[in-house]
Amino acid sequence: MNPFVWFWATSLAIVYLYWELGGRGEDGFGGRFEIVGFNTSKTEYAYKLRDPSNWSQIAPWIGYVLHNVCMFVLIYYAQKEQPKYSMKWRWFNWRALQINLFFVFLKTVQGQLWYNGMSSVLPLWFGTGTVATYLLLVYIMRWRDRGYIFGFGKRFVIHKKLLAKELVDFIRKYHAYYIAFGIINDFWFHPFESSLGHLLGKLNDLLLLWQMVVMFMPAHRNMYWTLAIELIVLFHSAVIAINRDTVLNRAHPISGQFGFGFFVILVFSQMWNLGNTKPVKWVIRSVLGASFIGSVLAVYGLVAGYGFRYLYEIVFIPLLFYGLMLLYLLMFAWMYRVVMKCTKADGAARIIITTIFSLIMLAIAFVPYVIIIG
């Protein structure tokens, strides 16, 4: 069987299980748990217990820490072997599968018993920031293939070096640890509610757990598979926003800036490495470009509450991501000049400075979400 069919089939089967166990779309697992619910505050997370017990607060953290530590240790030992990419399942692929299956089961049991995720303690901006930063790192890793925008910008030169290439190599070398942290955090952050928005989010998490399982296998780098995972956020973010628009009865919905914001990134960047021949490339670009223009005109021209006067909002998310990509490039240029070109620095010093730089990069990526969400 094609591995991608297996990935999608198993993930969708688990999502269907969450639909059944989560109350078939009714909040609080079909009313079994009394939750905070929506209010007018943009910072208040709706899906947490109104009157939580101590154990409901602690249990998701135990699962998260164990899950994250297990994957970090596995990634370390897998990378230490410096394996070549192969179709063959090796010991680290089997261990990753076993770890993730166990913790998916554990999270399901934990949710059924105590409901809460880590969102009962962590602020909403943290949960949003971890996933958004994962996407940012993925966009940077594909910079060499897709370019910065419209296929251009693959050869940013600073200090006579192809810094875009150097930055991509740096992120690719260390990306496994952050993405494991970000996705496992998201997996344990939310309760397994059965609304469409939550189910799309969990589908995304499950597919990314599969992506961890197939490390050092060709499937891990398949451009269509990885793009499909990236694009789930387009639908997930729009559905979450639509749900909130409906509950809060907003006169002007905010869902357009999310769905179309990520659609802009697809049309401006993500689609530019698709296709093996020029005719196929242009067919893909024409179809997606026309779909984008047509859907924007239809929604902002015909749907009540939108209107063309709000069309500017679809650039908010692209500006955020493209701005952070450029900022990362400039910061990396500084690090390259100060650290990588410093022949006097020994290996330990370079590791320390590189680690500090990486943490600063990640912290900066969270700043917009602290400001916007609070």
What pLDDT, in 10s, does the model give residues 62-86? 999 999 999 999 999 999 888 999 9
Mean per-residue pLDDT of the chain: 85
Confidence category of residue 94, pLDDT binned at 50, 70, 90: very high
Query: Region 209-218: what's the mean pLDDT?
Result: 93
What pLDDT is attached to residue 308? Answer: 86
- The residues, ordered by sequence, that sit 6+ positions from 313 with a Cβ below 8 Å of its Cβ are 254, 256, 257, 261
pLDDT at 290 over 90: yes
pLDDT at 368 over 90: no
Range of lowest pLDDT (76-80, 166-170, 281-285, 323-327): 166-170
What is the rounded CA–CA span in Å between residue 58 and residue 117? Answer: 9
What pLDDT is attached to residue 232? Answer: 92
Confidence category of residue 346, pLDDT binned at 50, 70, 90: low
What per-residue string of b and e applies to 318-349 under the rule 16 or more CB within 10 Å gives b? bebbbebbeebbeebbebbeebbeeeeeeeee
Half-sphere exposure (Cβ direction) of 363: Cα atoms closer than 13 Å? 7
pLDDT at 342 over 70: no
Confidence category of residue 171, pLDDT binned at 50, 70, 90: confident
Could you read off the pLDDT of 108-152 as tens digits, one per residue? 999 999 998 998 888 888 888 888 888 888 888 888 888 888 888
Query: Region 327-335: what's the mean pLDDT?
Result: 78
What pTM, to 2 d.p., does this model score?
Answer: 0.88
- The residues, ordered by sequence, that sit 6+ positions from 295 with a Cβ below 8 Å of its Cβ are 260, 263
State percent of the chain over pLDDT 70.
89
What per-residue string of b and e applies to 197-233 under the rule 16 or more CB within 10 Å gives b? bbbbbbbbbbbbbbbbbbbbbebbeeeebbbebbbbb
Higher pLDDT, 43 or 216: 216
Count of the separate structural domains present in the chain: 1
Confidence category of residue 156, pLDDT binned at 50, 70, 90: low
pLDDT at 42 over 70: no
- The residue assigned the tokens 């993405």 is 179
What is the rounded CA–CA span in Å between residue 254 and residue 272? Answer: 28
What is the rounded CA–CA span in Å between residue 107 and residue 18? Answer: 11
What pLDDT is attached to residue 348? Answer: 65
What is the rounded CA–CA span in Å between residue 24 and residue 18? Answer: 8
Query: Region 236-243: what's the mean pLDDT?
Result: 86
Which range marks the domain in which residue 365 is found? Answer: 3-373
Higher pLDDT, 112 or 241: 112
